[in-house]
Amino acid sequence: MGWAKPLKKLLYALPAPAFWLGVWQVCAFLVDRRLGGRGNELLLPYPASVWSALAAMAGTGEFWGAVLTSLGRIALGLGWGVTIGAVLAVLTCASPWADRLLSPAVRVVRAAPVASFILLVLLWTGRNRVPAVIAAMMVTPVVWDNLSRGIQAIDPRLLELARCYRFSRWKQVVLIYLPALRPYILTALTTATGLAWKSGVAAEVLCLPEPSLGQRIYYTKYYLDIPELFAWTAVTVALSMVLERLLRACVARWGRGWGR
DSSP-assigned letters across all residues of 127-161: TTTHHHHHHHHHHHHHHHHHHHHHHHTS-HHHHHH
* Helices marked H in the chain: 4-13, 15-35, 47-58, 61-94, 96-111, 114-124, 130-152, 156-164, 169-172, 178-207, 213-222, 226-255
pLDDT of residue 259: 47
Residues comprising the chain, all counted: 260
pLDDT of residue 10: 65
What residue type is 228 in one-letter code? E
Domains along the sequence of the chain with CATH: 72-255 (1.10.3720.10)
For 213-260, how does the pLDDT look when each residue is reduced to its tens digit (9 = 90+)?
999 999 888 788 888 999 999 998 888 888 878 877 776 676 555 544
Nearest Cα to Cα of residue 198 among 120, 142, 122, 256: 142
Low-confidence ranges of the chain (pLDDT < 50): 259-260
Burial of 221 (0-12, 13-18, 19+ CB in 10 A): middle
Task: Give the separation between CA 134 and CA 139, rounded to whole angstroms.
Answer: 9
pLDDT of residue 130: 92
Task: Give the separation between CA 191 and CA 234, rounded to whole angstroms.
Answer: 19
